[in-house]
Amino acid sequence: MSRSNWAKVDIQTVPNIIVNPPGPNSKAMHTRAARYMKGYSSQVRLFPVAFEKGHGVTLTDVDGNTYIDFSSGIYVTGLGHCHPKVTEAVQKAAGELMNAHDFTTPIKMRLLEKLASIVPGEAAKKLTGMQFYDSGTAAVEAGLRVMRVASGKFEFISFHRDFHGKTLGAVGLARMDVSQGLRAPGFFLVPRGYCYRCEFHQTYPQCNLMCVDYIRTVLKEETSGRVAGIVLEPVQGWAGSIIPPDGWIQKIRALCDEFGLLLFADEVLTCMARTGKMFAMQHWDTVPDVMTLGKGFGNGFPVTAMLVAEKHKEAIEKISASTSYGGNPMACAAALASIEVIEEEDLCQRSLHLGELLMQRMRLMQEQYPIIGEVRGLGCLLGIELVKDRTTKEPFEQAGQLVYQKAFAKGLAWIPAGHILRMSPPMIMDDEVALKGLSIIEEAIAETQKELL
C-alpha cells in the first residue's frame, strides 16, 4: 500500500482551526482529568488540548480543530496515525491471543526472525540476543543488567543531557534534580559531543574530539576501575535533537574496545527510520554491544526491545529478563507490521528526503531571524535552538515557549524543549504538508522575535 492511498491530505484544508485552541471542550476535559492525573509533560502544560482522533499526518481535538502533526506522538507514530497495516495486525492479534507471558507464539517467532535479518553486525557482533518489553525504560534497565553480567563489572559512563528513562537506573544515566535525591552509586556523566555548546570551549574538528579523550580521565580519576560500559543516545532527543559530530561515535567505540568496555546504544527514540536509517548507529557504521528499541518500533503500540551481541547474549539468561507484557502477540504484531511498512514504503529514504527538504528551509530561516542560533537535523529528527544573542548563545527559553504556543494555536502539534524547538514529523508526510508545517513555525518565530526583541 502506498502512502498516497490512505494518508493524503488536502493542503488547502489543513490545518483547520475552527475554535481558538485550547477550545472550551478541551479545557473542560483537561480540567476534569487533571483533578486526578498529575505529572503532565511540558507539551500539555503549555498547551492543554484534548485530542480525539488521528489520521495519517493529522490530529483532531475534541473541539473539532485539525492540526498538522510535527510530533508523531513524541517520536512514536512515524508511519502516521492508525496506519491500516499496523491497525489490522493489532486487531487480528487481539482477536486471537492477547497474552501468553514469554511462551513462544507464531507472531513472536516471526518478529524475532525479522529483527535478526535487519539488525547490524556480523558474526559475534551481530545483535541476535533479544527480549521484548513494554516501555523504553524497562528495556534500558535490562540492558544495564546485561552489561553488568557480561562484563563482570558494575559502573557506567553516560553523557550530559542524554535521556534514558524514568526508573532508578535509567535516571542515574541522566541529569537529576534535588527532588530525585542522589544518583545511584556507580554512574558517571561526561560532556557530550555538542559542538554548538562545547563544554571545553573548543572548535570542531580542530579539537580532535577532546570530549572523548576526557573520558580517559574519568575512567582513571573518578571510577573504581570497574566500568561495565558506556551508554549513549546516538542522537539526543529530549535535549533538543542534538547530532554528534562526525567521528564522535566511532571514537567512543574505539575507546570501548581499547579499555574492554561494552557500548550501549539507546535507540528507543532514534530507531525505525526516524533518522533516515533503520537504526541511527548505521549512519556511523558502528555496531554496539547492546541496543534498545522503542517508540516507532510499534508505531504507537507500547512495545520495546533490548538487543545484545551474539557473543554476550547468554548473559540475558542470568538477569530474569522476562516481563508480564513484553512480547505479547499484539505488541509483536504491531512491531512486525511496522518494520514491513518501513521496508515496503521505503521510509528510510523518505525520512532522509524530508529531513533534507526541511533543513534547507530551516537554514534560510536561520539567516533571517537573529533569535535562531542553530538549526540541525538528521532525517525526520530536527531542532531549532533559540538564543537571545548569537555571540553569547544565551538560551532564549521565553521565546521557545512562546513560539511553541503560537505555532500550536495556528494548527501545528509539536514538541517543546525550553529554548529548543523539536520536530519529528511522520515519515509518510508529503513535501507540501511538511513545508506548510515549517511555515507555521516561521510565522510564530517572526511574531515572537518582534514581540521580545
Residues 123 and 37 in one domain: no
* 333 and 401 fall within a common domain: no
**Per residue in 230-267, pLDDT tens?**
999 999 999 999 999 999 999 999 999 999 999 999 99
Residue type, position 424, single letter? S
Contact predicate 303/334, CB 8 Å? yes
Order of strands, edge to edge, in the sheet holding 381-386?
372-378, 381-386, 420-423, 415-417
Q: Is the pLDDT of residue 99 over 90?
A: yes
Distance CA(143)–CA(146), nearest Å, equals 5
Bridge-partner residues for 422, per DSSP? 383, 415
User: 307 is written with which cell numbers?
Assistant: 538487543
Contacts 24+ apart (CB under 8 A), 447-450: 447/406, 448/371, 448/399, 448/402, 448/403, 448/406, 449/369, 449/370, 449/371, 449/399
Q: Kind and range of the H or E element at 415?
A: strand 415-417
Residue 70 forms part of a structural domain: no
d(Cα 27, Cα 33) in Å, to the nearest integer? Answer: 10
Clarify whether residues 332 and 393 are in a common domain: no
Tell me, what's the pLDDT at 393?
A: 98
pLDDT band (50, 70, 90) for residue 4: low
Q: Would 282 be classed as within a structural domain?
A: yes
Domain total for the chain? 3
- Locate all alpha helices (DSSP H) within 191-247, ordered by sequence: 210-221
Backbone angles phi, psi at 17, to 5 degrees: -105, 110
- CATH number of the CATH domain containing 366: 3.90.1150.10
Rama region for 276: left / alpha / beta (φ>0; ψ in -120 to 50; rest):
left
Is 314 domain-assigned? yes
Domain CATH number, residue 313: 3.40.640.10
Other CB atoms within 10 A of residue 413 CB: 26
Residue 43 sits in which domain range? 1-64
Query: Based on the domain organization, do 339 and 391 belong to the same domain?
Result: no
* Residue 197 DSSP symbol: G
Q: Quick check: is 32 in a domain?
A: yes
Measured CA to CA, the distance from residue 286 to residue 265 in angstroms comes to: 10
Give pLDDT tens digits for 334-363.
999 999 999 999 999 999 999 999 999 999
Residue 73 counted as domain residue: no
Rounded to whole angstroms, the Cα distance separating 2 from 218 reads 51
Report yes or no: 77 and 40 within 8 Å, Cβ to Cβ. no
Confidence tier at 453 by pLDDT (50, 70, 90): confident
Kindly provide the b/e burial profile for residues 114-149, where b requires at least 16 CB atoms within 10 angstroms of the residue's own CB: bbeeebbbeeeebbbbbbbbbbbbbbbbbbbbbbbb
Tell me the pLDDT of the chain averaged across its residues.
96
Q: Give domain status of residue 81, yes or no.
A: no
The mean pLDDT value for 434-445 works out to 98
**C-alpha grid cell, residue 28:** 473542560
Q: Is residue 80 within 8 Å of residue 53, measured between CB atoms?
A: no
Which pLDDT value is given to residue 183? 84
Q: State how beta strands 187-190 and 155-159 pair.
A: parallel
Residues 219, 299 share a domain: yes
Interatomic CA distance for residues 81 and 23, integer angstroms = 22
* pLDDT at residue 417 in the model: 84
pLDDT in tens, 14-64: 999 999 999 999 999 999 999 999 999 999 999 999 999 999 999 999 999
Contact 410, 376 (CB under 8 A): no
Cβ–Cβ contacts within 10 Å for residue 34, how many?
13
Sign of CA dihedral 245, 246, 247, 249: positive
* Domain-ending residue, one of 324, 344, 364: 344
Q: Are residues 127 and 47 in the same domain?
A: no
8 plus 139 within the same structural domain = no
Report which residue type is found at 30: H
Is the model's pLDDT at 5 over the cut of 70?
yes
| Model confidence, pTM | 0.96
Residue 24 domain-assigned?
A: yes
| Average pLDDT value for residue range 370-374 | 98
Provide, rounded to the nearest whole percent, the portion of the chain with pLDDT above 90. Answer: 94
Tell me if 76 is assigned to some domain: no
Percent of the chain whose pLDDT exceeds 70: 98
106 shares its domain with 192: yes
The answer to whether the Cα torsion of 321, 322, 324, 326 is positive or negative is: positive
Strands 420-423 and 415-417: antiparallel
- Cell 542470568: give the residue: 318
Are the CB atoms for 112 and 130 separated by under 8 Å?
Answer: yes
- Closest by Cα among 79, 59, 56 to 16: 59
Q: Do 143 and 155 belong to one domain?
A: yes
Write down the pLDDT at residue 269. Answer: 97
What pLDDT sits at residue 181? 73
Among the candidates 319, 344, 369, a domain finishes at 344
SS3 content of the chain, % helix, strand, coil (to 5): 40, 15, 40
Same domain, 399 and 312: no
The whole-number pLDDT of residue 178 equals 64
Say if residue 106 is in the same domain as residue 20.
Answer: no
Rounded Cα distance between 351 and 354, Å, is 5
Are residues 302 and 362 located together in one domain of the fold? no
Q: Residue 217: is its pLDDT beyond 60?
A: yes
Picking from 29, 64, 99, the residue at the C-terminal end of a domain is: 64
- DSSP 8-state code for residue 159: E
- Whether 1 has a pLDDT exceeding 50, the answer reads no
